[in-house]
C-alpha cells in the first residue's frame, strides 16, 4: 500500500452516539440525530432502548430519529438485553434502569462477560437498586431499579466516564440532587449533552476536583444532534499517516473535546506534524479538521495524568512508539487491563511478535523504537486480537510499516466500532 493522502471522514463518535440515543429516549418528543455511528455497539444500545419502549428509526446512513418516553417512562423489557461487546451500553443503561421501577437482565458476548461491572453496581446499589450478578460482579446480571431511588454523593475511585455517566443517568429520575466527585477529569460528553437536553446539571471545581450535580425528576426536551467524527477512530489514521513515508492526509470533522484529544497532544510532543484546521463548535462539542503529514517521531515519557483523555488510543500509540527514535515510557495504565482485553499484555505480545522491542510493566509498556525502520512483521503465526477491535486495528496500522506484513487472527470485531475501517484505509492509501 502507498502513502495515505487525500481527505477522509471517520464515522461518528461512539460515546456521543450512545448518549444521543439514550437521552433522546428519555426526552418527550422527537430527537433527530445525524452522523450516528452504526457499529454493533451503538446498535445494541438502540435495540435495548426499543425493548424499553422508545421508538427509534433509521432513515438513511447516519440519519436517525428517536421518539422518547420521558424520564421515568421506561418499560420493563420482555426479554434479556443483549449488549454484545459494548461496555458503554451496559454500564450507562444500568444507570438508566436504576431509578425506574423495572427489572432488566443484561447479557453479552464472552469478552464483555469478563469485564467488571462491580464499579457500577456499587454506587447504584447505594441508590437502592438490587442486583443479581454472576460471580465477580460480571454479566449476565439481573437488576431491579428503585422507585424512588435515593440521591447520593459519590467520589469515583477510578477515572471512569462510564461510571460517572451511569450515576448521573440514575440521578435523572431520582428526587433531589445526585452528586459525582471526579478526582481525575474524564470525558464530559454526558454533562455537555444532558445540559443540551435541558437537565438541571452544574459543575464546580473544589480543591482541584470536578464536582458534578444533577437535579432529579428532570424533564428533557428533544434535540437535533450532529455527531462529530470519533477521535478514537481517527487515531488509527493519524498514526498511519505519521508513520507511512510520503503521507499527507486530512481527516475532516474530528471531535476535539479536551477530555478526548490527549493522543494528538502526545503525538505532537513526539514530533508529529498534526495541524488543526477550521476549528469550530458543533452541537456543544469542539471539532476540527486534522492535516497529518509523515514525521520522524521521537520517544518520550508519557505523563500518566493525560491517560484518561486517550485511554482507548494507547494501543495505536504503542504502534507509533515502536517506530519512533528512542524509548517511549508509559505508566499509570492499569485501566487498560480491564478493557475488551488486557490491552497491555495483548499489545506487548502482538508488537513483540511483529518484531518490536517491548517491555511490559505492571502499569504500562516501555518501547524501544526502530528509528523509522520497518518492523519485521509476522510470518506463520497471526497476532491474537482477543476479540478486541482496537488491537485488530492497531496491528493493521503496524502492518503498513512492516516488511512482511502483519496477520491478525480475526478482523470481525472491528465492526463493533468502525465497520468501514478497512475500506477507508484502502481508499486513503490509493487516493
Distance (Å, whole) CA 25 – CA 235: 30
Give the H/E segment covering residue 82. strand 81-82
pLDDT (tens digit, 9 = 90+) per residue, 323-353?
999 999 999 999 999 888 899 999 999 999 9
Domain range 14-226, its CATH number among 3.65.10.10, 3.50.50.60, 3.40.50.9100, 3.40.718.10: 3.65.10.10
pLDDT value for 344: 97
Task: Identify whether the C-beta of residue 210 lies closer than 8 Å to the C-beta of residue 161.
Answer: no
- Please state the domain extents for the chain: 14-226, 229-429
Task: Identify whether the C-beta of residue 242 lies closer than 8 Å to the C-beta of residue 292.
Answer: yes
Phi, psi (5° rounding) for residue 66? Answer: -130, 120
Distance (Å, whole) CA 373 – CA 322: 10
pLDDT value for 155: 98
Distance (Å, whole) CA 381 – CA 395: 14
Instruction: Choose the catalytic residue: 207, 312, 388, 409.
Output: 312
Residues in CB range of 186: below 8 A, 6 or more apart:
159, 160, 161, 164, 259, 308
DSSP state of 62: T
Q: Is the pLDDT assigned to residue 1 strictly greater than 80?
A: no
Please give the annotated binding residues for 3-phosphoshikimate, written as ranges: 14-15, 19, 160, 162, 312, 339
Check if CATH label 3.50.50.60 holds for domain 229-429: no
Phi, psi (5° rounding) for residue 69? Answer: -105, -5
Matching CATH topology for 14-226 and 229-429? Answer: yes
pLDDT (tens digit, 9 = 90+) per residue, 363-382?
999 999 999 999 999 988 99
pLDDT value for 43: 97
Q: Is the pLDDT assigned to residue 431 strictly greater than 80?
A: no
Task: Identify whether the C-beta of residue 337 lies closer than 8 Å to the C-beta of residue 361.
Answer: no
What share of the chain in percent tops pLDDT 90?
Answer: 92
pLDDT (tens digit, 9 = 90+) per residue, 99-132?
999 999 999 999 899 998 999 999 999 999 999 9
Residue 414 Cα distances to 97, 115, 167, 233, 410, angstroms: 29, 18, 29, 11, 9
pLDDT value for 380: 84
Q: What is the mean pLDDT of the segment spanning 223-231?
A: 95
pLDDT (tens digit, 9 = 90+) per residue, 35-70?
999 999 999 999 999 999 999 999 999 999 999 999
- The verdict on whether 312 is a catalytic residue reads yes
pLDDT value for 100: 98
Convert 138-173 to b/e letters by CB count within 10 Å (16 or more is b).
bbbbebbbbebbebbebebeebbbbbbbbbbbbbbb
pLDDT value for 246: 97
This prediction has a pTM of: 0.86
Q: How confident is the model at residue 248 (pLDDT cuts 50, 70, 90)?
A: very high
Please give the annotated binding residues, written as ranges: 14-15, 19, 87, 115, 160, 162, 312, 339, 343, 390
In DSSP notation, 382-426 reads: PBP-TT-HHHHHHHHHHHHTBSS---BS--GGGGGT-TTHHHHHH
Amino acid at each position: 500500500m502507498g502513502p495515505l493522502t487525500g481527505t477522509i471522514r471517520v464515522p461518528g463518535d461512539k460515546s456521543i452516539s450512545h448518549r444521543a440515543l439514550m437521552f433522546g429516549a428519555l426526552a418527550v418528543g422527537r430527537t433527530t440525530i445525524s452522523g450516528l455511528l452504526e457499529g454493533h455497539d451503538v446498535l445494541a444500545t438502540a435495540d435495548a432502548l426499543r425493548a424499553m419502549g422508545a421508538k427509534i428509526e433509521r432513515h438513511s446512513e447516519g440519519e436517525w430519529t428517536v421518539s422518547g418516553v420521558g424520564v421515568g417512562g421506561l418499560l420493563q423489557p420482555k426479554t434479556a438485553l443483549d449488549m454484545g461487546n459494548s461496555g458503554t451500553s451496559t454500564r450507562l443503561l444500568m444507570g438508566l434502569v436504576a431509578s425506574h421501577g423495572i427489572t432488566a437482565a443484561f447479557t453479552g458476548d464472552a469478552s464483555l462477560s469478563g469485564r467488571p461491572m462491580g464499579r457500577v453496581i456499587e454506587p447504584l446499589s447505594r441508590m437502592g437498586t438490587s442486583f443479581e450478578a454472576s460471580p465477580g460482579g460480571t454479566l449476565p446480571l439481573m437488576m431491579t431499579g428503585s422507585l424512588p431511588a435515593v440521591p447520593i454523593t459519590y467520589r469515583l475511585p477510578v477515572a471512569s466516564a462510564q461510571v460517572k455517566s451511569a450515576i448521573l443517568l440514575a440521578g435523572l429520575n431520582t428526587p433531589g440532587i445526585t452528586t459525582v466527585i471526579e478526582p481525575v477529569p474524564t470525558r464530559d460528553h454526558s454533562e455537555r449533552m444532558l445540559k443540551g437536553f435541558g437537565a438541571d446539571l452544574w459543575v464546580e471545581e473544589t480543591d482541584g476536583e470536578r464536582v458534578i450535580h444533577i437535579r432529579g425528576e428532570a424533564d428533557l426536551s428533544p434535540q437535533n444532534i450532529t455527531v462529530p467524527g470519533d477521535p478514537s477512530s481517527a487515531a488509527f489514521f493519524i498514526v498511519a499517516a505519521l508513520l507511512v513515508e510520503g503521507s499527507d492526509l486530512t481527516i475532516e470533522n474530528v471531535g476535539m473535546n479536551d477530555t478526548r484529544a490527549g493522543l494528538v497532544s502526545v503525538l505532537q510532543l513526539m514530533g508529529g506534524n498534526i495541524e488543526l484546521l477550521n476549528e469550530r463548535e458543533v452541537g456543544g462539542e469542539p471539532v476540527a479538521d486534522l492535516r497529518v503529514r509523515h514525521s520522524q517521531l521521537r520517544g518520550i515519557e508519557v505523563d500518566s495524568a493525560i491517560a484518561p483523555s486517550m485511554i482507548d488510543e494507547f494501543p495505536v500509540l504503542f504502534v507509533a512508539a515502536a517506530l519512533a527514535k528512542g524509548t517511549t515510557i508509559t505508566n499509570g495504565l492499569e485501566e487498560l487491563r480491564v478493557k475488551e482485553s488486557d490491552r497491555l499484555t495483548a499489545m506487548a505480545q502482538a508488537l513483540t511478535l511483529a518484531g518490536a522491542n517491548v517491555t511490559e510493566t505492571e502499569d504500562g509498556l516501555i518501547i524501544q523504537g526502530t528509528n523509522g525502520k520497518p518492523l519485521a512483521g509476522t510470518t506463520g503465526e497471526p497476532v491474537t486480537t482477543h476479540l478486541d477491535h482496537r488491537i485488530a486495528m492497531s496491528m493493521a496500522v503496524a502492518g503498513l510499516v512492516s516488511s512482511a506484513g502483519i496477520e491478525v487472527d480475526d478482523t470481525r470485531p472491528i465492526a463493533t466500532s468502525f465497520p468501514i475501517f478497512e475500506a477507508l484505509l484502502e481508499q486513503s492509501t490509493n487516493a
